[in-house]
Structure formats: structure tokens, C-alpha cells
Amino acid sequence: MERIAAPAVAAAGPEESIARQDSTVAIVAFVGLAAALVLLFPFPPVLDYANHYARIWLLSGGIGEQPFPEIYAVDWNRTFTNVGIDVLATWLGPLVGADRLARALLFLAIVLPPLGAIGLHRALFGGRHHWQTAMLSLSWCATMIGGFINFQIGLGMALFFACLDLRLQRRNPALVFVWRLAAALLLTVMHIFALGFYMAIVCGLEFSWRIDIVRSKVGLMRLAGRLVLAFGACVLPPLALYLHTAALPNAGGDGLGLVWNDGVVLIVMNLLSAITTYVPVVDVVLVLPLILICTRAVRAGDIRIHAGLAVTACGLLLLSCVSPRHMLGTGWISWRFPIMTALVAMAMMCPFANLTRRHALLLALVINFAVFGRTGWVGWNWWLAQKDVAAVEAVLKKAPAGAAVLPLGHEPETVSGLAHSNRHFAWGLDTFRHLPTLAVPFSHAFVPTLFTAKGKQPLSVLTPWSEIAVPEGNLLSIGVLSCPAMMQQYRDFTPYLSDWRSRFDFVLVANADIPDRYVGTFMPVGLTLVEDAGFAKLYRINKAVPAEPFAIPAGCATAL
């Protein structure tokens, strides 16, 4: 049915006539606020952003500056997808500058997904309903705070392409097929999951408004034919690109490298990634009003739902529950589907389209409180993080060009409290992990954890630097330098730890103002403190000191 229930509009006087809703002002205000956040805070607590920034800087021309011609190379045959920002860095970076481009891409990653959902909602339901403002809340999710820039931009592109696809569906089938080929090519280059998202939406739109199409054999056959054509058009571009490059992400010799969300708690946590930012409790509280709006609209019978997109949302929800957490050397695969589900779910429905002026104003106030409350919460955490970024910049000034910097960190005992809420997100994951990679653009120094994964990035590390580099890396505890068992545990995953005294010149410690859970503030012999900026510390490595530690801290026993 087109509606869950036809809204019963009670007789009302002129002063209680049905209000004309308009979300434009709130949308413009949100976009302006997002732009202000990006301009004010150059390196927000967005996990992968600093690493992406360093790579954008190299591809924008920095790779030609010493010492990087001897360290990095660009090979576009390494991958065929997940390279949207790399392509733009190569084309536009030299013209507009790496900093401007990186900020613009971060801005697009924030606003494109909800704006795409709003565009699709307007194409389906018409009007500028207040519910469209609610979709802006989905700007802030685990994949955004995780810094999945290509993925986020790809989601927005998929939604906008779906809007155009909706307009073309009644046109010449050949034109629609060619359009879908072009859309699939662009989405494949940006991110392969964006293409999958586009395919899911297109299938839902082809299904159309009414569920009763499945009761007609002729209608069902026609639907199957349209879906086959849509699927074929979307599969051809990635297949052709794959045959040309033959490069897929790998799991470091561990096959598929599958890790699952094997338990109800983990599945629920994964589903909450659609709304999770820095403190999950705050996110749930601020999203709860939007959920209550939907439930109240269902009870009131004032809600319209697109049946085809409802089927799509259910399919994406199922994938959210059964997809692996990690696979093929790529982390948080399962995070991708809850935000897709949420975007489609919000775009497919139109609650409370028929309200009196008083009730429409109340609805607008509740929605704006939820949306701008979340945005204010994110802005607060971005502001908190700036002193940490300043600390990293301060210590990097002491690292000379051409130096090799080993990044480590203090792993806290517990993740709690609002004083440093910006330092962790999504169930305790750190947001500062990649800040040390800023040594590349700021100090012209080498860091072993710059993103150079085959199948995902065109940047590669040349020998002999490749011997102490990893395609993707975590920020290990400083305990790894003092605890032999811990060193042995991580050696296979972090080959740069082997003979670290002779291969690196400096150790950069992040989160240094909070004691490490294993060794506190203990550092092995042969490290000289060069700069202490609170959150960040820089130590010079004395290469003449023997590799064996002179003392093993008692806390090493807890690291096993």
C-alpha cells in the first residue's frame, strides 16, 4: 500500500489549517555549520583523516620533494576502486592545494550522504517536509568519524545518482542502461560499496511503491527483467576494471581474513554504528526523539512508505547482521551496512506530512534539537581535539627532514570521562591513531603506517623503506619496546618493529599525558626526550644502545 494508513485530518478552523512544511532553512544552516567546523578545525578527531591528508599531500605534488622520490611511487595498476580522493588529489591537488582539497573532501563526506537522502525523499514525496531535516543527523556516524572518506562520498553520490535514475526510469531503456553504466563506473572508482548501495536503491525503486506487484505473474516477470538489466549495467564496469588491474585487497597472507560479529551484543553494537560518534550514550539520547517521531506517526496513521525501498532497507539490515567485521585486509566491513540501512529507511518514509501549524512547529523544534544537538556535540569534540593536534605539530617541528619516525602511543587503562571524549569513538577505538602520519607533510619525514594497501591505494613504498612499512597500521602501546613477549606477539603484523633502534631515528608517542596501561610512562634505555608537548612526546633513538632491554617492567606480564 502507498500509505500505512490514510491520515485522518480532523476538521479545523483557519488557525489550525494544515501547515506548509519547509526544511530549507535548517538544511542550509546545517551545511553552513558543517563548513564552519571543517574550516575552524583543520585536523578533527576523525580516525583516518590525517592519514588521508598525508597521502593527498604526496599525490598533490609533495612526492616530488625530498626525500620522497626515494621513498614512494605512484602505480595506478595497484587498484581499481577506493581511489576517488586519490584521483582528485592527482588532478586538482596541484591546482587548489592539498589542504584546501582535503578539507573540501572531508566536508563532502559529511554532507553528501544526508543531502542525497533528502534529494531522494523530495523526488519520491515532493515538498520540503521537516522529516528531511532529520536526515541530517546521519551525517554523524561511525564511518564518518572513522574517516572513511571515499565511502562516505560514495554513499552521497549513489543517492544523488538514484534521484536521476528515478527520473530516467520511464525513458528509453537504452538511455537508462547507458546512464547506469556511467554511474557504475564513477561509483566503482570512488568506492565499491557505493556501487553496491546504488544497485540496492535502484532495485528498490524498480520495485516501485506498491507491494502487490508480487501478486501479478506478468508484473513479477517484468520486474525480474528490469532488475536483471539494472544489475547487468552496474556489474560490467567493475568487472572490466578488475580484469584490467587484477588487484584486490589482501589479508597479509591470511586468506580472506574473516572476522565475524559472533554474538547478539556485537551485532547490536554494529547496528548502532549508524549513529555512533564519540560517546554512544550521548548519540542514542539525541537520536531517540527521531525514533519516537516515527513510532508516533505510525500510531497516528500519518506516514507514507515506499514499498520497494522498504524491501531494500530490510535487505541492507540483514546484511548489517550477517556481514563479517573484517575481510580481505579491510576493517569494519560490517559498519558499512547499518548507515546504508538508515539512509534508505529515512528516505523511504514521510511521517507527519499533515500537521496543523502548531504541531508542525513542535515537530520542527524536536527535529532541529536532535540534529543540531548532535552537531554541537561533534563540534565540542572537534574543539577539544585541537590542543592534541597542536601538540603533535609542536613535536614534529623537532624532527628533521628525511628522518624515520616510529609512532607509538599510551594505551589507557579505561576509556571514560568527557574531558578527553574526543580521543575515542565507537566503543573505545582511538581517533588519534594516524596523527603521527602528519610527519610526512609537516616534517618531510618517513612514517611506516601511511596507507599504501595494494587494491585500495595507488601509493607504494620503495625498497629499502618497504622493509619497515605496513600498508595499514595501528598505534601500538609503548610497552612493545620494553616487553619481549609483546614484541613477539606483534612482530608478524608490524615488521618495522624488528631492529627498530637501527632503522628509526625518533619515537613519537601519542596520548602521552595519560599513563600507559602496561608500562605507565616507562621508556627503554637509549631514548632521549627531545620535546614534551603533553599529548605528544618525541624521543631521539640512540642507535649505539644494545637492542635487549636492561629492565622489563612488571606491567609486561599483563600484556599477554
Asked whether residue 388 is assigned to any structural domain, the reply reads yes
Residue 131: how many other CB atoms lie within 10 Å? 27
Asked whether residue 375 is assigned to any structural domain, the reply reads no
Provide the domain count of the chain: 2
Is 497 in the same domain as 425? yes
Is 438 in the same domain as 527? yes
Q: What pLDDT is attached to residue 549?
A: 54
Asked whether residue 181 is assigned to any structural domain, the reply reads no
Q: What pLDDT is attached to residue 339?
A: 98
**Residue 426 — very low, low, confident or very high, per pLDDT cuts 50/70/90?**
confident
Q: What pLDDT is attached to residue 9?
A: 43
Q: What pLDDT is attached to residue 248?
A: 67
Is 305 in the same domain as 423? no
Is 339 in the same domain as 385? no
Asked whether residue 78 is assigned to any structural domain, the reply reads yes
The secondary structure element, H or E, covering residue 461 is: strand 459-461
Is 346 in the same domain as 410? no
Query: Dihedral (C-alpha) 378, 381, 385, 386: value to the nearest 10 degrees?
Result: 70
Residue 263: how many other CB atoms lie within 10 Å? 9
Distance CA 340, CA 204 (A): 13
Asked whether residue 283 is assigned to any structural domain, the reply reads yes
* Cell 599525490 sits on residue: 59
Is 307 in the same domain as 393? no
Distance CA 26, CA 489 (A): 51
Is 423 in the same domain as 493? yes
Asked whether residue 35 is assigned to any structural domain, the reply reads no
Does residue 4 surpass a pLDDT of 90? no
Is 122 in the same domain as 251? yes
pLDDT digits (tens, 9 = 90+) for 203-222: 999 887 767 666 777 778 88
Does residue 350 surpass a pLDDT of 70? yes
Is 125 in the same domain as 250? yes
End-to-end CA distance of the chain: 58
CA–CA distance from 242 to each of 198, 233, 327 (Å)? Answer: 19, 15, 18
Task: Tell me which of 152-161, 253-262, 490-499 is least confident.
Answer: 253-262
**Domain of residue 139, residue span:** 74-149+245-353
Is 396 in the same domain as 533? yes
Asked whether residue 430 is assigned to any structural domain, the reply reads yes
Is 328 in the same domain as 252? yes
Contacts of 339 (CB under 8 A, 6+ apart): 113, 138, 141, 142, 143, 155, 273, 274
Distance CA 328, CA 536 (A): 33
Is 385 in the same domain as 486? yes
Q: Please tell me which of 208-222, 261-275, 410-424 the model is most confident about, judged by mean pLDDT.
A: 261-275
Does residue 465 surpass a pLDDT of 70? yes
Contacts of 454 (CB under 8 A, 6+ apart): 78, 79, 247, 249, 250, 460, 471
Query: Dihedral (C-alpha) 429, 430, 431, 436: value to the nearest 10 degrees?
Result: -140
| Residue where a domain stops, chosen among 310, 334, 353 | 353
Asked whether residue 176 is assigned to any structural domain, the reply reads no
pLDDT digits (tens, 9 = 90+) for 302-313: 999 999 999 999
